[in-house]
Amino acid sequence: MAFTLTITATPDDIDELGHVNNAVWVKWIQDIAVAHWTTIASAEQQAAYIWVVTRHEIDYRGNVGAGETVAGETWVPEPPRGARFDRHVRFTGPDGKVKVEAVSTWALLDRATGRLQRVRPELAAPFLS
């Protein structure tokens, strides 16, 4: 299921080139993923598990300046493999053009032990597109 989040760039997000800094895009990728998790996962699931990023692949296709808004969309197209799954993210400007696309690999950890946990089908089902 796709999840959306609207983000407006602040002056603190802007680098010396006058557009959103690469590190900010990575933060926004994490922000939308976490928002998706906290919106769908139960309180018990959120208390039991935490997700960590193991890999990011990002394509920068356009720039965003201070005060500009992007629509972020994230989805999980395929079932997890063990403790990991790939999450896709796309940020689109008000002009309809894609500004950034990413695929991030996330791994599920047990909060109490910090160990990797296999993603059970019932945990993954609400996130699959």
9-35 tens-digit pLDDT: 999 999 999 999 999 999 999 999 999
pLDDT of residue 67: 97
Find the mean pLDDT for residues 27-47.
Answer: 97
The predicted structure's pLDDT at residue 1: 77
Mean pLDDT of 110-121: 97
67-112, pLDDT tens digit by residue?
999 999 999 999 999 999 999 999 999 899 999 999 999 999 999 9
* pLDDT, mean of residues 103-124: 97
Q: CA torsion sign, 1 to 90 to 20 to 84?
A: positive
> What local confidence, expressed as pLDDT, does residue 124 receive?
95
Q: What is the pLDDT of residue 74?
A: 98
What pLDDT shows up at residue 129?
67
pLDDT score at 63: 95
